[in-house]
Amino acid sequence: MKRAVKEDFPIAQKYPRLQLRTVKELMEGKGIDRPSEAEAVDRTLKKAPESKKKQGQQKDKTGRPDIDAFETAMRRAKCEKGFFVSFDYSSDALREIDRFFREEHRIIIPLTVRDILDEEIARKLA
């Protein structure tokens, strides 16, 4: 255990785990001996490999596979109505939304970011 701490967490060598301070010492400004946050992060955490996929990467159009996944989520949650927000939709995605309504009587309302920005939501929800 001690070896693992020393090898994996070299910062533990410099700062004792248990430090006792009296109220007087604390009032006089004597704090706890510890590393700065930046030093602690740099020395105790291993850097994760960089992801090739960007999180939150925006796509120009939502396709049918995205709608299929949303339909599955609606079925699992037993939802009858869902809202999907995208920048745009492929024709296959819109056909799948229509098929889903006709065959399963569940509604997916496809909203675009432009609809939201232009405040067109009320018209689509009516």
**27-81: per-residue pLDDT in tens?**
787 777 776 665 555 555 556 666 665 555 566 789 999 999 999 999 999 999 9
C-alpha to C-alpha distances, 43 to 8, 37, 48, nearest whole angstrom: 9, 10, 13
User: Which secondary-structure segment (H or E) carries 90?
Assistant: none
Higher pLDDT: 124 or 65? It is 65
Domain ranges of the chain: 2-44, 64-125
**Which of 57, 55, 101, 77 has its CA nearest to residue 110?**
101
In terms of C-beta density within 10 A (0-12 exposed, 13-18 middle, 19 or more buried), how is residue 66 classed? middle
pTM summary value: 0.50
Tokens 């309504």 found at: 101
Over range 15-26, report the average pLDDT: 74
Does residue 83 carry a pLDDT above 50? Answer: yes
- What is the residue-averaged pLDDT of the chain? 76
Point out which residues pair with 109 in neighbouring strands.
83
pLDDT at 21: 76
pLDDT at 10: 52
